[in-house]
Structure 1
């Protein structure tokens, strides 16, 4: 899908159906220590420093990742504070679906992001969710 070159914010809901109970997927995905296994878009390593989760990212510098508190509703919202100090809010849910679940990541195009960069961001999220699906279904 073409995304126009504009500063107009847009949103994409990127999903993956996972053939595992929602509670299992939520438990794994909500643990920041597991992020390097499936969320390569955030980084390949993560460590807890002074109560905060710090990840090495593809960006110059490290990012701080903070998840919503544990909850029974499958809310995996998380904020990523970039090396610039800008914080990006990422809505994410694990929704029960029969014996499996649907993981939904809401990608919002930030002002000033080119259409090509937004497409790359969406593809990175799709790849991360596919990795999460593979990991969870292979357990």
Structure 2
């Protein structure tokens, strides 16, 4: 088996946020902040558990490990939905001019249908929009 045949298909989605990238990272890197925008965790209480966190996901209990705080804007996390194998979710906050770009890579898992991959992509884009909305000033109806 070649190295290429073991790679997973991937798509990266991003959102631009008008905020200094380092300031944004400092505000959102903590695992507890994910519940404000990541819909899979929004209705759950994240509970610290050893070197990870426990949450109630949409399809049952999940265990999550987060990358420690760092100087590079890396917010990777590893999710185990009680399957015995972790799914790596790369998440980055990088500089985009005076603002930030938040990028999340979705890997198509073995056996995942086209429909499930598309649904996960839609879900991720919704979550990224929710994150952006937290940092976008709200205008009134007349403004």
The alignment's TM-score, normalised by the length of structure 1, stands at 0.86
1:59-138 equivalence runs, <5 A: 59=59, 61-138=60-137
Structure 2 contact 47–53 (Cα < 8 Å) conserved = yes
Alignment partner, residue 56 of structure 2: 56
CA RMSD of superposed structures (Å):
1.8
Structure of larger gyration radius: 2
Query: SS at the partner of 1:41?
Result: helix
Structure 1 contact 18–136 (Cα < 8 Å) conserved = yes
Structure 2 contact 65–78 (Cα < 8 Å) conserved = yes
Q: Give the whole-Å Cα distance in 2 for the aligned partners of 1:18 and 1:117.
A: 28
Where structure 2 has 5 or more consecutive residues not aligned to the other structure, the ranges are 1-6, 139-143
Q: Give the whole-Å Cα distance in 2 for the aligned partners of 1:43 and 1:82.
A: 16
Alignment partner, residue 24 of structure 2: 25
Q: Give the whole-Å Cα distance in 2 for the aligned partners of 1:74 and 1:57.
A: 25
Structure 2 contact 36–42 (Cα < 8 Å) conserved = no
Alignment partner, residue 14 of structure 1: 13
1:43 Cα shift?
4.6
Q: Give the whole-Å Cα distance in 1 for the aligned partners of 2:42 and 2:85.
A: 17
